[in-house]
Amino acid sequence: MDAQRTPRRAWLILALGILVYAVSVFHRASLGVAGVEAQHRFGITAAMLSLFSVLQLAVYAGMQVPVGVMLDRFGSRRLIVAGAGLMGLGQLVLAITHSVAAAVIGRVLVGAGDAMTFISVLRLIALWFAPRRVPLLTQSTGILGQVGQIVAAYPLVALLQGVGWTTSFLSAALIGLGVAALAGLALRDPPHHPAASRVRVSGAQVLSRLALAWREPGTRLGLWTHFATQFSGTVFALLWGYPFLVEGERRTPGEAALLLTLLVLVSMVIGPVLGHLAARWPYRRSIPVLTILSATVIAWTAVLAWPGRAPLWLLVLLVVVLASNGPGSLMAFDYARTENEAERIGSATGIVNVGGFVASLLTIALIGTVLSLSSGGGPGSYTLSDFKLAFCVQYAFWAIGVTGLLLSRRRLRAVRGVRLDPFPSAVVRAWRRRWAEAR
């Protein structure tokens, strides 16, 4: 490739990849802001509503490793086009059906298409850009992709209230199919990379790569990092945050949409900060992760323990803290990239990406089950106490995730022979060195 054309084309490819990912986030989050309407449209309980998202996330998580293998076989372009098309088709099914079974199928299609998107875009970044750019561009992609959540949180809510369910989800379907067509026309795998269609990998080689990726302590550390950090923010944004704010905390739909929008906007600010910290302190990436987890647990504890409805300032604080969950979980992919050989990065990335979504789907299902059992009723019967009890299931997953993270970190450091000074001492030493250089 021409040395001057390559960067420009690479940036255009990245911009299109981010657009496709943003649309996938929009599709993923659309049911969350339409949760109340969905319960009334289909006449379902909270447990049934959670089944929609649980199946969607189960498909997403279950497809991560197979998608990683398909990436090596078919390349990013084909998977991204197929994924966008599946998501558009899934939204079309949701738009026209009144059947619970058909609606579940629609969300499964959305989950399948969503599963093909993010790690395909990550592969484009890894192949189109120099390695030194990859960590920051990964964070930037994750951050900018959350624009799709803003579109779901505010414009889609307004559309639902204005023109109703069918027109709103038909519009979502047209967006998805349009993006699929655009990706098919404009997206390209790197010309300097061997054509994916000519790559032949035996089943034994695939299993060997998966086994090697799993045995790598850095992969397991990435998985548990993703597991622990991602689920709380995802559960809130994807399904249960909006009903909790509207039905539990008695906030208006406009206030709830603004809070969900704030979550995305704050994550856009936090992401670059975490990217800088990861680049500056590569052996201490777990410290910001554990800080995020501590802040998340404290914020939720304050909201759940508050007598009665939480004040708006506390809900804002909760949302600001939850905004760090997504960027924090993206640091998990850096472990997969730096601790694995190039030929198994796809498999390692797929394994890591399973963690957070398994935690999310289990949490979503348990929250829905607890809500239904504690309220004994259907849509509109859930009290604030019901929601508070249901959200307590998160503590079990935080405990599991942090335990796995700490054990994996200890194993990785032992294998690498890494011995680190206490973090405060390292910070003081770095500042002293900079001060001496400045003088």
Can you give the residue range of the structural domain that contains 374?
5-191+201-416
User: Which comes out higher in pLDDT, residue 114 or 436?
Assistant: 114
pLDDT tens per residue across span 386-426: 999 999 999 999 999 999 999 998 888 887 766 655 555 55
Tell me the mean pLDDT in the region 268-281: 77
Asked whether residue 139 is assigned to any structural domain, the reply reads: yes
CA distance to 56, 273, 369, 418, per residue, from 353 (Å): 15, 22, 25, 26
Residue 197 has pLDDT above 60, yes or no: no
Asked whether residue 280 is assigned to any structural domain, the reply reads: yes
Residue 439 has pLDDT above 70, yes or no: no
Asked whether residue 423 is assigned to any structural domain, the reply reads: no
Asked whether residue 426 is assigned to any structural domain, the reply reads: no
Greatest mean pLDDT among 44-58, 141-155, 217-231: 217-231
pLDDT tens per residue across span 371-380: 888 876 665 6
The dihedral formed by the CA atoms of 125, 129, 131 and 132, expressed in degrees to the nearest 10 = -110
Burial of 33-53, coded b for 16+ CB within 10 Å and e otherwise, reads bbbbbbbebbebbbbbbbbbb
User: Which comes out higher in pLDDT, residue 398 or 6?
Assistant: 398
Asked whether residue 387 is assigned to any structural domain, the reply reads: yes
pLDDT tens per residue across span 47-92: 777 778 778 778 888 888 888 878 777 888 899 999 999 999 999 9
Residue 194 has pLDDT above 60, yes or no: no
pLDDT for position 282: 66
pLDDT for position 2: 41
pLDDT category of residue 113 using cuts at 50, 70 and 90:
very high
Q: What CATH number does the domain containing 56 carry?
A: 1.20.1250.20
Number of domains in the chain: 1
Asked whether residue 78 is assigned to any structural domain, the reply reads: yes
- Express as a percent the part of the chain with pLDDT over 70: 87
